[in-house]
Amino acid sequence: MSQPMPPSKSKKAVVPAAQSTLPAEPPATIDDFRSAVRYLLISDHGMPAMVADEVIGLDDPYLQRIFGEGGSDGASPMEAAEELAIKPSSGKSWVKVGEDQVVFPVGGPINQYLEQLVATGLFGDNRTQVVEAMVRRGIESVLPLLQHAPPPKRNR
């Protein structure tokens, strides 16, 4: 359990450990507002950075409206991040892992990267083969960490 942060001379708001620390002052510009929302989506809501960037891009009119309504006096990045992070129904997550498959949304830049990788021919002849190769490589890259990990707990 983490201890509360002691007061400091910096102008950071002290918030519960479950939430991120942002400057106490509201963002002065729309770019600062977008950056704060992005930070919250990634750090508090566990959204992958590429997904957060895409969500912010898709919902930019909403962000501009909420920032414009509140201006630098009242726009809340936390409220905006909460709104953007709402998932279709409870229990949903960004990645679904089944018995023999992993499902996650791709769009925008990810689609472009996949198409570029298909064009190289190095990782497969189609998007499915490229994704499978990338997931395998990602898993293989963390296998050395398992040497130092404690053994998994077994349910009795």
Q: Is residue 7 part of a domain?
A: no
Alpha-carbon gap, residue 69 to 72, rounded angstroms: 9
Residues 31 and 81 in one domain: yes
pLDDT in tens, 140-155: 887 877 777 777 777 6
Q: Residue 153 carries which DSSP code?
A: P
> Which of 45, 64, 89 represents a domain boundary (last residue)?
89
Look at residues 56, 89, 122 and tell me which one is the last residue of a structural domain: 89
State the residue range of the domain holding 140: 106-148
Residue 10 lies in a domain: no
Q: What is the pLDDT of residue 149?
A: 73
pLDDT per residue over 62-104, tens digit each? 898 888 876 545 568 888 888 888 755 445 556 677 777 777 7
Are 113 and 81 within one domain?
no
pLDDT value of residue 136: 86
Same domain membership, residue 37 and residue 67: yes
Same domain membership, residue 80 and residue 31: yes
Q: How many domains does the chain have?
A: 2
Compute CA 130 distance to the chain's CA centroid, rounded to the nearest angstrom: 22
